[in-house]
Chains A and B, each alone.
Chain A
Amino acid sequence: MDLPQNVPPVVPTETDVVIIGAGPVGLFAVFELGLLDIKCHLIDILDKIGGQCAELYPEKPIYDIPGLPVVTGQELTDRLLEQIKPFNPTFHLNERVDELTKQADGRFVLKTDVGREFLCKVVVIGAGGGSFTPKRPPLEGIEAYEGSSVHYSVRRMDDFRGKDVLIVGGGDSALDWTLSLQPIAQSLTLLHRRDDFRAAPHSVEKMRELVAAGQMRLMIGQMTSMDGCEGKLEGVTIKTKEGEERIAINAVLPFFGLTMKLGPIANWGLNLEENLIPVDTEKFETSERGIFAIGDINTYPGKLKLILSGFHEAALMAQQAHRYIYPDKKLLFQYTTSSSNLQKKLGVK
């Protein structure tokens, strides 16, 4: 067997705790664990920290965080980041945990979609509503073309060289890829449901220049069907104000935003109830010893999907995590207000 060259062997990153999900609850878990001298790595599928707060409502107000009468999703994320700074957590963004297994010694091995491995004593699932995944337009038979002709992201630009490309959407992803792929595509069509774009004005302007120069086409309308054979797309039918038109297309990039799906978590052998992870209300531990679930992803009698509930869950989870990570150390309950020991960890003393 030929082994690939220049591929370093996977050396797992060892840490106390891996937190899956860098939303507000995952971030606060770093704080609670940090006070107990527990080191964390966080893994998130998004390209930014903050989970739903940063992705869905960065500029929208939240009114039910204790002590903060009004705070936006982004501000809350920024404040949590400031609060956990003394504990220096490591973030792995744009990365999804695909596999979680237990070793004979009781430690956990996590494998991500980019081939990274982690070895840790405790896993905290703070994955909210699940992994953010691109929305799939509900066109009949679209699945058959996914991966071959329909792509939800651009992995290699060269895959689009010489193709008849259709990009659908009106945000930055749609416009940025329009501008990047137009020079290498055989033909490029941008389709949006209205002649008004959310994307940055300068990219919209550039796109309009290309349209005016006859180098690409802009259509205002929506896709209604796809046709092709054996997984190879040949055409897309588009409904516009003038009626339906079929255009010859062999690559489509739909950009309809993100939706949340439970994803690989479903395959880890944990008990699930309607895509949520049942936990106890003392430690917020799952059916598997050493794996905890906190925040929107868990369920228990009386559960409320509130950020503040997730904060409470993080604090109690940390107590049990401490027992697993430092089995011989006695846990002394202390207040940050009065404990010089905790204040030293926070860097305020």
Chain B
Amino acid sequence: MAKITFIQPDGTSQIVEATVGQTVMEVAKLANVPGIEAECGGACACATCHVYVAEGWRDKSGAPSEMEEDMLDFAFDVREESRLGCQIKVTEDLDGLVVQVPAKQF
């Protein structure tokens, strides 16, 4: 098990229990975290599960793959800490992970 904190643009946060092997997108969808749309259902084909990985977690969560970078081109307000939630797999190492939900998915 791992705990993941989702921070909304208005500053409110929600801590969700995740199972190792799930993706951050799946964790968010199962817990009804607002702002994670995942239109394509996790195929890395839409960029509507865009999140910002909080400072201090970027090494552990890793860098986006080339395919993910291509998809991030379709997201809005992409930053260095941008990832697609469907491409971050929960591991024991990610227990305590903090991600921020962007103001808009489009």
Point out residues on A near B: beta carbons under 8 Å.
Answer: 56-57, 60, 129, 135-138, 169-171, 192-194, 196, 198, 222, 256-257, 259-260
**Chain B, 59-89, CB within 8 A of any chain A CB:** 69-70, 72-74, 76-78
Is residue B45 contacting chain A, with contact meaning CB distance below 8 A?
A: yes
Residue of A at shortest CB range from B76?
Answer: A138
Q: What are the 7 closest A-B residue pairs judged by CB atoms, nearest first?
A: A56-B45, A257-B74, A138-B104, A138-B106, A198-B70, A57-B43, A256-B74
B44: which A residues are within 8 A, CB to CB?
A: 60
Q: Tell me whether B78 and A60 are in contact (CB under 8 A).
A: no
Instruction: Give the shortest distance, in Å, between B106 (CB) and chain A (any CB).
Output: 5
Instruction: Give the shortest distance, in Å, between B15 (CB) and chain A (any CB).
Output: 28
Residue of B at shortest CB range from A56?
Answer: B45
A137: which B residues are within 8 A, CB to CB?
A: 76, 106
Is residue B46 contacting chain A, with contact meaning CB distance below 8 A?
A: yes
A260: which B residues are within 8 A, CB to CB?
A: 39
Q: List 25 A-B contacts (CB under 8 A).
A: A56-B40, A56-B45, A56-B46, A57-B40, A57-B43, A60-B43, A60-B44, A60-B45, A129-B39, A135-B106, A137-B76, A138-B104, A170-B73, A193-B78, A198-B70, A198-B73, A222-B76, A222-B77, A222-B78, A256-B76, A257-B47, A257-B73, A259-B39, A259-B106, A260-B39
CA separation between A256 and B105, bound complex, in Å?
Answer: 12
Residue of B at shortest CB range from A60?
Answer: B43
B15-49 toward A: CB 8 Å interface, digit per residue (1/0)? 00000000000000000000000011001111100
Extra contacts besides A56-B40, A135-B106 (8): CB < 8 Å: A135-B74, A170-B73, A193-B72, A196-B69, A198-B70, A222-B77, A222-B78, A257-B73
Counting residue pairs across A and B whose Cβ atoms lie within 8 Å, the total is 45
CA separation between A198 and B46, bound complex, in Å?
Answer: 15
CA separation between A196 and B68, bound complex, in Å?
Answer: 13
Residue of A at shortest CB range from B48?
Answer: A259
Which among B46, B69, B106 is the interface contact of A194 at CB below 8 angstroms? Answer: B69
Q: Tell me whether B45 and A192 are in contact (CB under 8 A).
A: no
A196: which B residues are within 8 A, CB to CB?
A: 69
Q: Tell me whether A169 and B106 are in contact (CB under 8 A).
A: no
Residue of B at shortest CB range from A170?
Answer: B73
Instruction: Give the shortest distance, in Å, between B46 (CB) and chain A (any CB).
Output: 7
Residue of B at shortest CB range from A136?
Answer: B106
Q: Tell me whether B76 and A171 are in contact (CB under 8 A).
A: no
B39: which A residues are within 8 A, CB to CB?
A: 129, 259-260
Instruction: Give the shortest distance, in Å, between B79 (CB) and chain A (any CB).
Output: 9
A56-B69 in contact given A135-B106, A138-B76, A138-B104 (Cβ < 8 Å): no
Instruction: Give the shortest distance, in Å, between A201 (CB) and chain B (any CB).
Output: 14
CA separation between A198 and B72, bound complex, in Å?
Answer: 11
A136: which B residues are within 8 A, CB to CB?
A: 106
Instruction: Give the shortest distance, in Å, between B68 (CB) and chain A (any CB).
Output: 12
Residue of A at shortest CB range from B105?
Answer: A138
A170: which B residues are within 8 A, CB to CB?
A: 73
B73: which A residues are within 8 A, CB to CB?
A: 169-171, 192-194, 198, 256-257
B40: which A residues are within 8 A, CB to CB?
A: 56-57
Instruction: Give the shortest distance, in Å, between B100 (CB) and chain A (any CB).
Output: 17
A169: which B residues are within 8 A, CB to CB?
A: 73
CA separation between A34 and B72, bound complex, in Å?
Answer: 42
Residue of A at shortest CB range from B106?
Answer: A138
Residue of B at shortest CB range from A194?
Answer: B69
A257: which B residues are within 8 A, CB to CB?
A: 47, 73-74
Q: Tell me whether A56 and B70 are in contact (CB under 8 A).
A: no
